[in-house]
Amino acid sequence: MAEDQDIKIKKSISSYSEYRDEVRETYQRNKDEPVEIPPEGFNNKMRWYFSKSGYSAIVAAAVVGPGTLAGMLKGGALFPWQLTWVIILSAIFCWAVAYSASRTTIATGLDPIETINKYVHPWIGFLVAIASVWVMVIVVMFQGSTVAASAWVVLGQAGGPPAAKWFGVIIIPLIAFAYVYRKSFNVVIWITRILLSILLIAYLAIVIFCFAKGSVPLGALLKGFIPTWPKGSSLLIAGILGGSCPFVIILAQGYNIIEGGKLRPKNFIHSNYDTLFHGFIVFGFFSIILFWAASAIYPPANLVPKNPIHGALTLAPLIGGFAPYLFSLGLWGAATTTLIASTFMILWPISTVFKLSPTIRNSRFAIIFFFTVCVVGITGPFLGRELFSFGIVAMATMNLFTLPVLIIWLYLCNSKKVIPRQELRAGWFVNLVFIPMIIIVGIATWFSAKGIWAFITK
């Protein structure tokens, strides 16, 4: 293998020690190498980036899911144009948490749970792993509900009929089997890219169409960039923030760096570009366009969306009767990719704690993964909760454990003990984002707890 190539990961791993040896060998061989500087010129820089991009696409798969769709659609219906500032802030936060995980993983050669174990305390690492399991079980249940709900249009009913639930029972195991059989995130990455591109183009066309019709009040749209906190919006704002910068993004991105073969200091700047593109640009632009489309469509119709049929109305001005089918396809794709990413975040942290090989390349882990998707994902459609509200609550749940992990990562990214190389430690701009993010997430945590309790008890 040439010296300047990234690590070639093995196709199969038989044990945790073999997994750690693979990671450790990569880190030890390359830990002192210089950081790769992007080439001069815009075209050369873009070719350099896209030639090896994609390992942060799982971040996009995790945050640009049906929870985001639910939040943007309900937000546009209930608080038209007013929450643009929240979406921009959430995209900045999403980039910051993913980028901070890239820093610690590349600098230490450890995944995030191992980093906490070594530099904070093993019990803290255990608690973070248990928290990830707890919140991701709720999220995977919601993804399973969404996979089933995507069949409502095809089955011709809007109320979540039993046939749609059984569609989930059939299709969810097939999704899990396909992923386990391929033993790769590549399928997830490409499904994410294709379906997000289709939906993004459709919603961008809707926004342009609404502008052309004059149904977009420019003054109200511009005011949305100014922070306001509309009455009754607290849980929704908490959900948007919880879905964009949860602590599980830190855990997931560390694994993406290792499993994507990017565990080398030379990839440090490239990881910044990759998290910026997937965490900020893709997620932020998609969310804003969707929110604006909902703001233009729903209030005049006096409708608050609750299910895919209502969601499809945002595309009706563009493609008419085909809108429900396109929306359901996009919803299914978003749910499928997020189902895979979220299930992995149930198993990977706890596997690391108990020294199991935390990779789909290990056959035992793959079997456990398959049955976890089937059991947890299939449970969701039978909970009987209103879909879009369930999605917002699922995102808000992640706030409950994000605050302490953000504080830990602010310390890790600035510690000379953890990151001896100065160029790999947090720059002023990372700290500038992290400090207000910690404060805002702290506020969102309070509203999340209140909203979750109200959702459970109603």
pLDDT band of residue 2 (cuts 50, 70, 90) is very low
Rounded Cα distance, 219 and 267, in Å: 43
Domain boundaries, the chain: 17-29+61-457
The string of DSSP letters for 360-387 reads TTSHHHHHHHHHHIIIIIHHGGGS---H
The chain-wide mean pLDDT, for the chain, equals 82
User: Residue 244: which of 113, 64, 74, 432 has the closest Cα?
Assistant: 64
Q: Show the tokens assigned to 335.
A: 């749910």
pLDDT of residue 176: 82
Q: Please tell me whether residue 52 adopts helix, strand or coil conformation.
A: coil
Choice among 86-100, 143-157, 376-390 with the minimum mean pLDDT: 143-157
Provide the CATH topology of domain 17-29+61-457: Amino acid/polyamine transporter I (1.20.1740)
Is 249's pLDDT higher than 60?
yes
pLDDT in tens, 302-321: 888 887 778 877 887 777 77
Rounded Cα distance, 112 and 133, in Å: 15
Placement of tokens 């209030």 in the chain: 299
Is 343's pLDDT higher than 70?
yes
Considering Cα of 233, then 235, then 240, then 242, what sign does the dihedral take? Answer: positive
pLDDT in tens, 189-241: 676 667 767 777 888 888 888 888 888 888 999 999 999 999 989 999 999 99
Cβ atoms within 10 Å, residue 389: 19
Question: Is there a contact between 106 and 265 (Cβ–Cβ < 8 Å)?
Answer: yes
Choice among 196-200, 411-415, 416-420 with the minimum mean pLDDT: 196-200
